[in-house]
Structure formats: C-alpha cells, structure tokens
Structure 1
C-alpha cells in the first residue's frame, strides 16, 4: 500500500502541531495499531520529549500574542518535522522514496503552518483571549482526529486534509487585511518604545518601573 496519503496527512498536521503528530504516530506504532510507523518514532525518549513539548505548545498556543511568537519560532521546526516524519514513513514502507516523501511532508507542513500562523495574527487583532483558546483547541482536536483517522483510512484522511488546507489558504487570503493591520500595529508599538527610550536617554530620565 502506498504511504503517500499518510505522508501528506502527517505533513498537514505537522504544520499545525508537529509534536502532536510525533506523539500520536509513536503511540500508534508502539501499541501495534499500525506497522507503518518506524521504530525511531516509537522510542520512549522520543515519546517523552514529544509529550512535554506538546504540553508546552498546548499552553503557549492559547495565549494571545504568545501564540504568534511561538509560531514564528516554529516556522522552521514544523516543516522540518513534517519532512523528517514523511521520510521516516517512506523508509518504513519502501513504497515512496525518502526524498520525495520529505519534500511532500515538508512543503505541506510549511503551507499549513502559514495558514495557522496567519490566522492567529488575524485573531490577535481582537482584544479578547477566548478566540485564541477556541482556535487552539479546535486545531489540537482536528490534528488528533484526522491523524487517528489516517491510521484506518489514509486516503480519506488525505482528502480531508487537502480540503482543509485549501480552505485555510482561501481564508488566509480573505483575512490578509487584518493580518497587515496586526503587523502594522506591532511595528508601531515597537517604534513607540524605541522613541520613548531615546527620549529618556536624551533627558536623563529613569526608565519606567
């Protein structure tokens, strides 16, 4: 059986929560639910690290502005994780070359990461924190459900992931005006802080407490 649908789905999910993907796949492989998962993802130390980082993301991802900082840090981590997981899955099955699987997993993860990060920027233009919590919870549940579904029906899961990715990209284009406003507001705050610091330095005033 071709591993391509699972590679695509894991890549999409990695762009949203890479640690959840590694944790879920490792658990599925360790419990014998599937033989598609390589042993390197089933190691106890890998599962522990993935679990701890997943908990860290679960908290950071629900705090306004902290979630955008977290996303910025993971602009490289998520695509690399998607590529690595894809290559490992391909190496386990032998039905797809490691390079091709890495490219598919990494590029899909990068696309879904941009959707997640861009959507969060738009959400952060709103002053209330509840939308962040709702969005983060929905993302975590979505990743868990679709990755689990991919274990039993990888083709259908890949189709769902592709539809969600396309819908997310369309939404990102629609929300671009809010994202630009968020970036402009953040740049203005940074500039105001810089000017205030220069003014204090020029007058010899002490910094604010």
Structure 2
C-alpha cells in the first residue's frame, strides 16, 4: 500500500468520523476481527479497534447515536456534546493509520485528521440545524438514515479499494464544504426574514 492510498484512507476515516465516530470505530473493529481488513505492519496499532471492550463501547455509542440523531433538536444537542469527541477521535484514528517511524508525518496527520473531522462535524451539525427549522419531522429521519448508509458504504469503499479512498476523501471534503456554505446561506436567509418581520410587523386586524 503506497503513501497515496494510506493518506486517502486516513483522510476518509477522519472525515467519516466527523459524521459517525462510533460507527466508524465499530465497523472498522468488526472488519478487522473478521479478517476482512488485513493490516500492514505499520497499521497494527489499529488492531486495538478489534478489542471486544472497544467494540462494545463503540456499539453502545453507535446505538445511542442512531436514535438520538433521528429526533428533532436532540440531534443538535448530541452534535454539540460531540464537538470535541469527533475531532479528537478522528485525529487519533488518522494518527494510527500513518507510519509511526516519521514523527513529522505523525504530527501532520494528527492536525489534518482533527481538522478534517471537525470540518465534517461542522457540515453535519449545520445541515441538521437547517433541517430542524423545517416543520416536517420525517426529513430529519431521512437525512440521518442517508448518513448511516453513506458512512458504512464509503468506509467499506475506502478499505476495499485504497486507490478509490483518495476520491472518497476529496468527495467528502467537497460535500462538507458545500454543506457549510448551504447552511450559512439558508440560515442567513431565515434570520433575514425574521428580522424583516420584526421591523415591519403585520398591521392589526380592523375593528368590527
């Protein structure tokens, strides 16, 4: 596995951790324990994810996130609590992927992994804040379901085809930036309309 493939996997894992950190840990642990993901020598540190205790904790977190992420406003509260958890977790996962013999690469991977997970987390949280303003509760459930399926599918693609992991990482990066820009535009429009209604309230109804 070359440096390009390793960086692609590391970036994909960090970005997906910003969406579903517990699910990424659990899915990776299951894949390793079943032998589906063979580890090169310098990735042996990731074998800790296949530990039964780690997988058990990740399973509890995945289950809790699965339900919390589909309830309006509770998902935003969950995202707020995990503002630190996801970036730190993404940084540590990325750190475990790169070659430990190069300290400079380790530092860069840690910073980029944390930054990527934070960017993905920001895109997810912003999109959820916009969706929560909609009176339709099923849109929240639909978006959460898409995130669940996309996380597992893209993680499998990155592990199964390391070369494609680079394209996955770039696509995720573009999607996260697009979500942030879209959320900023929609929230700005929403607050602008609210401000206009405050400044120009509707006239009172005529007296009978």
For the residues of structure 2 that align with 1:94 and 1:161, how far apart are their CA atoms?
23
1:55 aligns with 2:63: yes
For the residues of structure 2 that align with 1:56 and 1:172, how far apart are their CA atoms?
25
Higher relative contact order (CA 8 A, sep 6+): 2
Aligned residue number for residue 133 of structure 2: 125
Give a deviation string over 1:145-179, Cα, whole Å, max 9, x none. 01111111123133123223213322321332433
How many Å apart are 1:57 and its aligned residue? 0.2
How many Å apart are 1:97 and its aligned residue? 3.2
Matches within 5 A, 1:22-171: 22-33=25-36, 34-35=38-39, 36=43, 38-91=46-99, 97-171=105-179
Consecutive unaligned residues of structure 2, counting only runs of 5 or more, are 195-208
How many Å apart are 1:111 and its aligned residue? 0.6
2:14 to 11, 16, 21: 11
For the residues of structure 2 that align with 1:96 and 1:132, how far apart are their CA atoms?
41
When residues 143 and 6 of structure 1 are mapped into structure 2, their CA distance, relative to the original with a 3 A threshold, is: same
Segments ≥4 residues shifted beyond 4 Å:
91-96
When residues 94 and 151 of structure 1 are mapped into structure 2, their CA distance, relative to the original with a 3 A threshold, is: farther
Aligned residue number for residue 207 of structure 1: none
For the residues of structure 2 that align with 1:158 and 1:95, how far apart are their CA atoms?
23
Consecutive unaligned residues of structure 1, counting only runs of 5 or more, are 186-209
How many Å apart are 1:42 and its aligned residue? 1.2
Q: Conserved in 2, the CA contact under 8 Å of 1:4 and 1:96?
A: no
For the residues of structure 2 that align with 1:168 and 1:175, how far apart are their CA atoms?
11
Note the aligned Cα RMSD (angstroms): 2.3
Q: Conserved in 2, the CA contact under 8 Å of 1:26 and 1:43?
A: yes
Q: Conserved in 1, the CA contact under 8 Å of 2:158 and 2:168?
A: no
For the residues of structure 1 that align with 2:99 and 2:51, how far apart are their CA atoms?
17
Give a deviation string over 1:73-112, Cα, whole Å, max 9, x none. 1111000000011112225797983222222211111111
